[in-house]
Structure 1
Amino acid sequence: MPDSYDVVIIGSGQAGNPLATALADAGRRVVLIEEYLLGGSCINYGCSPVKTMLASAERAHQVRTAVDFGVLADAPRVDMAAVVARKDVVIGAMREGVRKNLTQEHPGITVLAGRAVFTGPHSVRVALETGPEKELTAPLIFINTGTRAAIPEVDGLAETGFLTTTELLDLPELPEHLLILGGGYIGLEFGQMYRRFGSRVTIIESGEQVLEHEDADVCATLQELLEAEGVEFVLGAKAYRASKGAGGQITVAARTSSGERRLRGTHLLIATGRTPNSDKLNLSAAGVRVDEQGYIQVNSRLQTNVRGIYALGDVHGGPQFTHLSYDDYRIVRDALLGGKSRSARQRPLPYAVFTDPQLGRIGLSEAQAREKKIAYRVAVMPVSNIGRARETGRLGGFFKVLVDAKDQIIGAAILCAEGGEIMTMLQLAMTGRLKYQVLQQMIFAHPLWAEALNNAFAKLKEPKK
């Protein structure tokens, strides 16, 4: 006979874990199934390990550039094994915190290590890491299985020994020349990180700019800043073949507008996007619908087409950010336990690209405002105008803020040393529907980065036609 629960959660990610604790605390019998590692992608091979290693790369960069600040130091020597070991300690503590939270601090949660597949609309079979299979049933099932690296169709790629971000984060040696296929935020963060560690880095992007959804001026400036550190870019390059030579060198052949390019390196990172982990769940047995890319289709309340089955986080498509996955949890929690209905369709989308300088983004870009035919004015201020930037030597980037006809902020791209933090201040102003003049006249402590908001709106202009 199958084991009966009130709730089955498949996947221990940033939506599934807090949902498990909230429902267990409300008296539900919850079973959470995780095939890989507790904590999901963010903790194990996404945000947290990448940002931990970025911190090491930043230290190396500070040592390398210390002479510019009057400090004499030897050139940094990066011990990649030690960098990875530090990352493992940080992530291990986070993962242990998740394990303790799920297994000790909240009675009512059963955690199973294994792979789950549907056997019916409200039943799953779990192949455990140890022990016999288990059959489980529940009236509520939540799918929180996330995504994995999407591997492009490039002839010969499988034989090159390419790396995904998961493997590269555990690589104990420094690549001599890292080729990166993909110029999105993952490619840019890893590109700058490994350049600062000491690798030669070449980013190969099929589009005509990096960060395809950003305004061209933002992308061009960020690219220039990374090129100044030695990152190489090959844009408009359609990779069609890859090979590995007898000496271990990897060659990527790409078609560009100026002809074929052959790009050679010692390591190849694939950073061309993600694909959902829905294909392993036997969703057909439950009747759950997916789109042509495999993302689970949900309504505004994150319900699938099958009553009682929900999809949370990256597996249902759309922007793939940890903070949106966590908000998925809040939407479902409030609906089930608080009787409150909120749509997952219309919600703010703040995000940051953790290059140096950071790119903080909220609201509409100029391209989006034009597409929606929204009348706006735009203010652009170079970071070099900010006192804090001159004092710290972090001069690259600019503020770009969009204001509508009612003088309210409708979007911003903040490319500066603390771009994500400044973006969040603008998000708060947008949430409170403050007019830009409030920030323009506000007293900020001197000399903070935030003080720049007094001056950012001084040159509001109509957009160029």
Structure 2
Amino acid sequence: MATEASDVLVLGGGPAGAIAALRAADLGARTTLVTSNDFGGMSANDGPVPVRTLAHAARLMRDVGQLQDYGIQTSEPKLDYSVLLVRVAEVVKQVRRHSTLRGQLDQAGATIHEAAGRCRFIDERNVESPSGQQFEADKIIVCTGGQTRTLAIPGFEHVATHSDAWALKSVPRTMLVLGGGATGLQLASIFAAFGTRVTLFEAGSRLLPGEDEDVAAAVAEGFRNRGIVIHEGFGSVERFERDGAVTRMYFSDADGQHMSEAELAVCAVGWRVDAEALALSAAGIETDARGYISVDEQGRTSATNIYAAGDVTGVAMLVPQAIQQGYIAASAALGIAGPATARQLVPAGSFTDPEYARVGPTEEKARQSADAISVSVSFDSVTRPIIDGRTFGFCKVIADRSSRQILGCSVVGDRAVDIVQIAAVAIAAEMRIDQLAHFPLSFPTYAGALWQAAAKLTYRLNSAE
């Protein structure tokens, strides 16, 4: 089989890979994009698009519960999961069909090989697909995403991944979720709304270890209010066993050995790069202590002609940042310096119930490098959440005491992700907290929580002068 040669070879058709290929092609390079599965990557096929569709269904189930508070009479809602899966498939199909990136890549003259399987490096300039097709390029950009981490625990073969959970054909009556990070919380939140009795395990002392304690505590409270059982700092897992229709997890702590069982056990303890499957060592690509591909601010790896972007780098691991990294890596590969990735200004959040989101450093980290001051505003004092009957949660803003520059914002509650986007723009524009407090946001909106927090913090700073 003949080797296909190009100037730039992009491995992976997710957001990072698609943008990297488009940027390279727009710059005039002969560009080849090779995807292991369908175009769109995990984002379109196994990530935000299908998951957000399931989350929307979960929110609709929740919203029905308050209709009677507004004088609307209705019967108890029942979920037909098979119909929901059809809707999810339709959404994924529409997103693919209307993806402007695919059309732009075709117009730019990029060559696309879909569903080629996982390619392996032969050396720093050549890769090979499972079918034996070889690709050669002067520059290679790795955008192959990540895989769910597995655990070296007896019986782990009885545990499902998050992908297995999203692909279920029916809703399990009981579910055990191992991992209190973003993916684990999404699983727990969505299936709890669908009627599953969920037990959530986090080995650390609390959920969301990367967030402030008040954020993690509020999310845990919201989950418990919805009937989700949470075990934090539960000790260590000893083994899994499958007995008929249930999976049992045996774990131990200072009080002895315990057991929890459910129809489905799901592991959601993070991501990794499959360095062996990609044969990264054959190309001289080094990984960091966490197992991700080491890159500089321009996406360069330890191999002089190879770049990486997206989840394989372990940086942010979010769609907007993957797009930004793909653009920068392709630019750098063709000799054009791009802006350094704003690693600290990454708005991130999750469409759980309750939602949570943050931009900028946590309060703890902010205090380590600045004379930081913060205030929080409870949603039960904000007009729009009161109107909507969604008063659980808070908005916290952090600013530098002397310069009054906004440093960060954390939100728990409805529309948290949307509120944080506004804060991110304000921080990027280098607005002071008093300027945000005087900015006329629309009323009544959930963004009013951000405005009230800014006004409260400005008043506190003025009073201290």
Aligned counterpart, 1:360? 357
TM-score by length of 2: 0.92
- Judged with a 3 Å threshold, the aligned counterparts in structure 2 of structure 1 residues 262 and 20 are, in CA distance, closer, same or farther, namely same
Aligned counterpart, 2:383? 387
Query: 1:55 offset after TM fit, Å?
Result: 0.6
Mapped partners of 1:136, 1:338: distance in 2: 22
Aligned counterpart, 1:402? 398
**Does 1:32 pair with 2:33?**
yes
Query: 1:294 offset after TM fit, Å?
Result: 3.0
Report SS of the residue matched to 1:280: helix
Mapped partners of 1:419, 1:170: distance in 2: 27
- Judged with a 3 Å threshold, the aligned counterparts in structure 2 of structure 1 residues 9 and 67 are, in CA distance, closer, same or farther, namely same
Aligned counterpart, 1:134? 133
Report SS of the residue matched to 1:438: helix
Matching residue within 340, 355, 371 for 2:337: 340
Mapped partners of 1:443, 1:101: distance in 2: 40
Mapped partners of 1:456, 1:143: distance in 2: 42
Query: 1:72 offset after TM fit, Å?
Result: 2.1
Matching residue within 106, 109, 112 for 2:111: 109
For structure 2, the 5+ residue unaligned runs are: none
Aligned counterpart, 2:152? 153
- Judged with a 3 Å threshold, the aligned counterparts in structure 2 of structure 1 residues 219 and 293 are, in CA distance, closer, same or farther, namely closer
Mapped partners of 1:419, 1:135: distance in 2: 46
- Judged with a 3 Å threshold, the aligned counterparts in structure 2 of structure 1 residues 334 and 306 are, in CA distance, closer, same or farther, namely closer
Q: What is the correspondence of 1:428-439 to structure 2 with a 5 Å cutoff?
A: 428-439=425-436
Letter in 1 for 2:172: P
Letter in 1 for 2:146: T
Q: What is the correspondence of 1:454-465 to structure 2 with a 5 Å cutoff?
A: 454-460=451-457
Mapped partners of 1:419, 1:341: distance in 2: 31
Contact kept, 8 Å, 1:278 with 1:315, in 2: the verdict is no
Mapped partners of 1:25, 1:435: distance in 2: 38
Query: 1:123 offset after TM fit, Å?
Result: 1.3
Aligned counterpart, 1:72? 73
Aligned counterpart, 2:165? 168
Mapped partners of 1:289, 1:193: distance in 2: 37
Report SS of the residue matched to 2:276: coil
Mapped partners of 1:380, 1:103: distance in 2: 45
Letter in 1 for 2:313: H
Report SS of the residue matched to 2:243: coil
Partner deviation per Cα, 1:295-344 (whole Å, 9 max, x = no partner): 21112211111121111111122321111111102212444568334323
Mapped partners of 1:25, 1:441: distance in 2: 42
Q: Which moved more, 1:400-409 or 1:278-287?
A: 278-287
- Judged with a 3 Å threshold, the aligned counterparts in structure 2 of structure 1 residues 333 and 116 are, in CA distance, closer, same or farther, namely closer
Q: Which moved more, 1:305-314 or 1:99-108?
A: 99-108
Contact kept, 8 Å, 1:103 with 1:111, in 2: the verdict is no
Aligned counterpart, 1:144? 143
Mapped partners of 1:156, 1:324: distance in 2: 36
**Does 1:121 pair with 2:124?**
yes
Letter in 2 for 1:406: S
TM-score by length of 1: 0.92
Partner deviation per Cα, 1:388-425 (whole Å, 9 max, x = no partner): 11110000001111110211110110112111111111
Mapped partners of 1:345, 1:401: distance in 2: 19
Query: 1:25 offset after TM fit, Å?
Result: 3.0
